[in-house]
Copies of this chain bind each other. A is one copy, B any other.
Amino acid sequence: MPGTAIILFAHGARDPEWAAPLRRVCSAVRAQAPELRVELAFLELLAPALFDCAESLLAEGFERIVVLPMFIAQGGHLKRDVPRLIDELRERNPQARIEVGCAVGEAESVVQAIAAHVLALAAGTA
Contact = CB atoms under 8 A, between A and B. Distances in A.
B72 A10 contact: yes
- Which DSSP category, helix, strand, loop or mixed, fits chain A's interface? helix
- Copies of chain A in the complex: 2
A47 interface: no
A102 to B, nearest CB: 9
Given A68-B121, A121-B101, A28 B75 contact: no
A69 to B, nearest CB: 10
Interface of A: 4, 6, 8, 10-11, 13-15, 17-22, 24-25, 28-29, 32-33, 36, 38, 66, 68, 70-76, 79, 101, 103-122, 126
Q: Return the 10 tightest CB-CB contacts between A and B, nearest first.
A: A113-B113, A28-B115, A13-B75, A21-B106, A24-B111, A18-B73, A107-B117, A25-B114, A21-B105, A29-B115
